[in-house]
Amino acid sequence: MQITTQILQKLHKIVGETFVFTDQETCNHYGHDETEDYIFPPNVVVKPANAYQVSEILKVANQHKIPTTPIGARTGLSGGALSIYQGIGMSMERFNKILNIDEKNLQVTVEPAVITQVLREAVAEKGLFYPPDPSSQGSCWIGGNVAENAGGARAVKYGVTKDYVLNLEVVLATGEIIWTGANTLKNSTGYNLTQLMVGSEGTLGIITKIVMKLLPKVTHNVLMLVPFYQANQACKAVSAIFRAGIIPSALEFMERDAIDWTLKFNNTININIKDNIQAHLLIEVDGNYPEILLQEAEKIMNVVEEFETDEILFADNEEQKNTLWKMRRSVAEAVKANSIYKEEDTVVPRYELPKLLSGIKEIGAKYGFKSVCYGHAGDGNLHVNIIKGDMTNNNWNTQVTRGIREIFELTVSLKGTLSGEHGIGLVQKNYMDIAFSKTHLELMERIKFVFDPNNILNPGKIFPDEF
């Protein structure tokens, strides 16, 4: 891809010279996210300040058919923000304001580059609650959360990002600016373009404002760590908790290895794990009435003890709670520090978790790879970290790809799918044929064409190279 001087001049005119970058260092910086070790730098990085500038940039890109990739916090795990066909990398970083916390309607209007945790804390100060909490909440942006339909630990009770998005200001590939819906809790007015946009990974438009619903703040929670002698028993316990009539506010699964690697990686986390423990569930219940939470915790205890548990640890204070959450949230980073790896974001109906877990191990044995599994078990959402370890590069590129394909075939056969919360992006796109027929993929492709006739918006994502 070539960006001509003439195009650069147009970009300068739109955003000002100080917000256009063509030096290699900047382009490299914006060319990677948290997905493996991929680097795909754009030819030029542009940093617009408002929807009008985004619109003008897209008009230029559309006229000259320049690939344009919206770039967020680059914490993504599916390569959604990588400029794989170069062109314009549009960093959204200047869209960093919380525009309005509407306490009267329990809504917030926010720009896409606000850090998720910053948003959560800002609304909490007003007594309000934005539940979605991806593990990367301290660094990811709300716009990326919308683009990938991010989840997090609290999704099991409170839903994922999509469940909070009411309305979006979107700049279309052709430069028009629309609001997708209305600022209402209910809406049966035409096709749901809001939900079509959520999770579309920057391929249908560029989001410049987000209206989200909020809940009243929840005041109390109880957190417990349940050790199991067998990983499959832990998986089975997950479904039993719901069948007992309880909806926990978090229900996380960690394999033994996930914890071992985490404790090795971060020696500030001080938890003692017995040798005979193979997996843990981290379980939280929340609400406004502490006495009820203790009753619910007891009910959960009675349920899980049917599945051969060791002594259950209750977090006594905020510090212990933070330690347990830190352990859970450090798993990905710990695995990354330990070895080259690939992370798959499998999801199945929650009762199928034991079958998924044992299937993954069998597939790993067949193709010669080790995996570390953990994730949001309450949602049936298991993150599978496939470890390179001392595998040859050749096996890593051939055997592992075959193994991943089998893992996804397994998830789909269990009525699950490829990604629960990370998106398809670059690295899962060539598995899409497992989940969708040719007819289905063509429908999606034609929808893409409706929004983006010249295929300039984040090209090379979601859709398989051939179908």
List the interface residues with its own copies, window 360-389 (CB under 8 A).
Answer: 376, 379-381
Q: Which is nearer to its own copies, 21 or 141 (CB)?
A: 141
**2 near its own copies, rule: CB under 8 A:** no
Which of 43-70 are b and which e, b meaning 16 or more Cβ less than 10 Å from the residue's Cβ?
bbbbbbeebebbbbbbbbbbebebbbbb
Q: What gap in Å lies between CA 293 and CA 356, rounded to an integer?
A: 31
Q: Which is nearer to its own copies, 93 or 433 (CB)?
A: 433
Which of 87-96 are b and which e, b meaning 16 or more Cβ less than 10 Å from the residue's Cβ?
bbbbbbbebe
**302 near its own copies, rule: CB under 8 A:** no
Q: Which is nearer to its own copies, 196 or 271 (CB)?
A: 196
- Of 95, 222, 87, give the one whose Cα is nearest residue 147: 95
**107 near its own copies, rule: CB under 8 A:** yes
Determine which residue in the list 285, 348, 377, 456 makes contact with its own copies, applying CB under 8 A.
348
Structural contact between residues 235 and 281, judged by C-beta atoms closer than 8 angstroms: no
Q: Which is nearer to its own copies, 364 or 378 (CB)?
A: 378
DSSP string, 189-241: SS--HHHHHTTSTTSS-EEEEEEEE-EEPP-EEEEEEEEESSHHHHHHHHHHH
**189 near its own copies, rule: CB under 8 A:** yes
**162 near its own copies, rule: CB under 8 A:** yes
Site string for its own copies, 212-241 (x = CB under 8 A): ---xxx---------------------x--
The DSSP 8-state label assigned to residue 101 in this structure reads E
- What angle do helix axes 231-243 and 353-367 make, rounded to 10 degrees? 160
Token pair in block for residue 12 = 């300068």
- Of 122, 390, 372, give the one whose Cα is nearest residue 231: 372
Site string for its own copies, 435-454 (x = CB under 8 A): xxx-xxx-xx-xxx-xx---
Determine which residue in the list 155, 171, 207, 222 makes contact with its own copies, applying CB under 8 A.
155
**Binding to its own copies in span 38-67, by CB under 8 A:** none
The DSSP 8-state label assigned to residue 186 in this structure reads -
Span near its own copies by CB under 8 A; candidates 41-49, 115-123, 325-333, 409-417: 409-417
Span near its own copies by CB under 8 A; candidates 60-68, 186-194, 263-271, 396-404: 186-194
Span near its own copies by CB under 8 A; candidates 40-48, 90-98, 171-179, 223-231: 171-179
